[in-house]
Chains A and B, each alone.
Chain A
Amino acid sequence: MSPEAPRARDGRAPDVFTPGGWVPMAVFRDEDPVDFAIVGTGAGGATLAAKLAEAGFSVVALDAGPFWRPLEDFASDEFEQQKLYWTEPRITDGEDALALGGNNSGRGVGGSTVHFAMLSLRLRPERFKSRSRLGYAVDWPISYEDIRPYYREAEQAMKVAGPVRYPWGPLREPYPYRPHEVNAAGLVLARGCEALGVKWAPTPLATVSAPRGKSPPCVYRGFCVYGCSTNAKQSALVVWIPRALAARAEIRDMAMVTRIETDRGGLATGVHYVREGQTRFQRAKNVVVAGYAIETPRLLLNSANPQFPNGLANSSGVVGQHLMTHFGMSVWAEFEEEIRWYKGPPSLAVCEHWNYTDEGKDAPGGYAFMSQGPLPMGFAEAVAGGRGLWGMALRDQMAKYNHMAGLTPVGETEPRPDNRVELAEETDAHGLRIPRVVFSYSETDRALQRHAVAFQSQVLEAAGGRDLWTSNDTSHILGTCRMGDDPRTSVVDRDGRSWDIPNLWVCDGSLFPTAGGVNPSLTIQALACRIGDRIAQMSRQGTLSRVRAEA
């Protein structure tokens, strides 16, 4: 079932933990300026909504999609659960045009964390200073030491389940919950890594390994990337949204923000949005854009006005630029033993060797790789696309399903200005210009991919795999409104505040100056926790309200 009418309204919001249930919700009027209007409720927006509301600010967070109750709305079915994706029209372009949709988007309260694979990995500390410490790409404006307490805060908020001693990186505290049992698909990775003499670990995952509040422990049903129907998964919908509501934030589902308004002083005054066919305007003292790395730059560009003809926060011209993805060329192999990878979260074992080892690679940048567990429809896509098999050959390959194992990297691509989000001429149902996403790999990106394919192949062969083949895919989109120390080359400062419009903020994966070789959701949430604390701090110090600096 897919609600098309808003559910969060009239002073109540869906209770995600109770079929048909409700929780009370604060209601703000459009005409009363709230402290913060947040556009998007994923890993960035939901986290920041909770943090700001808990700090005492008035918050309205708007999401274009529905407010799910996982216990009653989510089926155990790959095809039905495509309803979790953003499927508004987009154009994908470039030499290596990216697959969009389910790969890297969510539509609904909680955003893509509703269907993420729950990998909760920190970036290697040196990656925050990739240019000065590792000699490639650019530095972040913050260091690992700046974000470390917020990594811990986010891991605690999600009760991440992981090992007592994670084998890479600086000494750190144990994960909040014990690690999950590693399934046979993960044990293949373990066996191969041990044969090659590299470390591996049970993956730190944001699904609970023991009861936590109203979340039961994970039952290993294996449909994680199609939505968790038991609420074991610690998505933003289950973790941050209830916290935000309890702290008197208002969540508006099925509310598509179409434009940010600015006044003659060059400050943001609120957001135009469409809900139930009505065009409305929420006044706000601050606007936060958290629509992820395509919709965030698209909204800033579509909000252009005579004062800001190139779009908001775009005096640098870099809004939409430096788009990065994570490459994900999978290697698959057949095994003598039965593996049955459909059981448990898809990536229960991980190897970060090539994030932490710089020798033995002919390209800078890093990657993690992890075990896989695609369900039949997803695996059929890999077999058809990767091998081009059809006829009985396709059905025969698929019949080996329970004897297959595979590895997929999350690998860095370089931030390059030509990879970008821009506006196409074509418009959507709201009359807004749709995004065109342009992407091509660099030679460096390709060299790192070749390394990842070769090493993953070695691991699978060392584990006893045979008949290896590859399929190509990507995941995550990052970097299109990057943070920095220089207003000429970045969109926002180290606190997510735009250089041009001091009451306009960005809080999502668009902020990343480099991609890092791990899944981004934990870092996005840590950044949001940090931005939330910084805003509260600035408010106490009286530096939150700022008139626009004269250009």
Chain B
Amino acid sequence: MRTPYPGYDVLAKWDSQSFNEATREVLAARLAEPPPFRFFEAGDAKLLQAVVDRLLPQPDRTEPIPVALWIDRYLFEGQDQGYRDARLPPREQAWRGGLAGIAAEAERRFKTPFAELEPERQDEVLRAVQRGDTAADAWGDLDPKRFFVDDLLTLAAQLYYTHPDAWSEIGFGGPASPRGYVRMGFGERDPWEARSQR
């Protein structure tokens, strides 16, 4: 994809009044090399990586945002909002079960492991899961539609957009403390904001 804000880099403001020390610490940790997969074993990790590559494809990046590793860390460290829908299994179980369901759907449709399918066929499998058009036995109590949107897609999308490269891509101002903004009307832009080439 082509960003409307070529040449804009939120991180160029690192030493400016837009960044305070607390924010620099948080972002330095986020940009560090993430730990290897710990929550998912090798097979599931490979499958998750293949799934995330379709949910948030990054053919334009030489250094992709490590969304799959961040999902693994999020689950491994038990960072979540605490609450659980009574109809869903505990979260760890839901993620393992959901990935098993996607794997089973790939086998059912194409007799091939998901990670080895052509991207178009991978998308076909994911669309089927999103619609709930799946073989029931592989999913058990887990609702495929709910898992796909509420767990998998939402977390992947949220984590992708915590990366400064994603902020730059969409023209978000990024960290803003102690300096905020002055010009707020239609089409108004402070000098420290992204310039659109759209």
Contacts and interface: CB of A to CB of B under 8 A. Distances in A.
B189 A76 contact: no
Interface of A: 1, 72-80, 82, 85-93, 97, 99-102, 181-184, 187, 218-223, 229-230, 337-340, 342-344, 375-377, 379-381, 383-385, 388, 390-392, 394-396, 398-399, 401-402, 436-437
19 contacts: A1-B22, A76-B23, A77-B162, A82-B81, A89-B82, A90-B82, A97-B87, A220-B180, A221-B179, A223-B176, A230-B177, A340-B188, A340-B193, A376-B162, A381-B154, A385-B150, A395-B169, A398-B169, A436-B86
Interface in B32-90: 54-57, 79-87
A87 B171 contact: no
A101 B169 CA distance: 29
B83 A100 contact: yes
Contact of A344 (B22, B80, B81, B181): B181
Nearest to B193: A340
A399 B1 contact: yes
A91 B84 contact: yes
Given A340-B173, A388-B153, A398 B184 contact: no
A229 B196 CA distance: 28
A289 B75 CA distance: 34
A76 B1 contact: no
B160 interface: yes
A89 B56 contact: no
B172 A342 contact: yes
A187 B56 contact: no
B158 A380 contact: yes
B82 A101 contact: yes
A383 B156 CA distance: 12
B189 A383 contact: no
B55 A76 contact: no
Interface centre among A339, A377, A384 (most CB of B within 10 A): A384
Ranked nearest first, the 9 interchain pairs of A and B with the lowest CB-CB distance are A101-B81, A219-B180, A221-B180, A87-B82, A76-B175, A221-B176, A93-B86, A183-B184, A376-B161
Q: Is the interface of A mostly helix, strand, loop or mixed?
A: loop
Interface of B: 1, 3-4, 18-23, 25-27, 30, 54-57, 79-87, 123, 126, 130, 149-150, 153-154, 156-162, 166-167, 169-182, 184-189, 193-194, 196
A93 B86 CA distance: 5
Given A380-B160, A401-B170, A390 B20 contact: no
Contacts of B4: 399, 402
Contacts of A92: 83-86
B157 to A, nearest CB: 4
Given A342-B173, A384-B153, A390 B161 contact: no
Contacts of A91: 83-86
Nearest to A344: B184
Contacts of B18: 76
A220 B170 CA distance: 20
B65 to A, nearest CB: 11
A338 B153 contact: no
B158 A340 contact: no
B57 A187 contact: no
Contacts of B149: 384-385, 388
Contacts of A376: 161-162, 166-167, 170, 172
Nearest to B52: A390
A99 B196 CA distance: 36
A223 B176 CA distance: 8
Interface centre among A72, A78, A182, A376 (most CB of B within 10 A): A376
B176 A375 contact: no
A76 B20 contact: yes
Given A220-B184, A396-B1, A377 B161 contact: yes
Contact of B180 (A338, A343, A381): A343
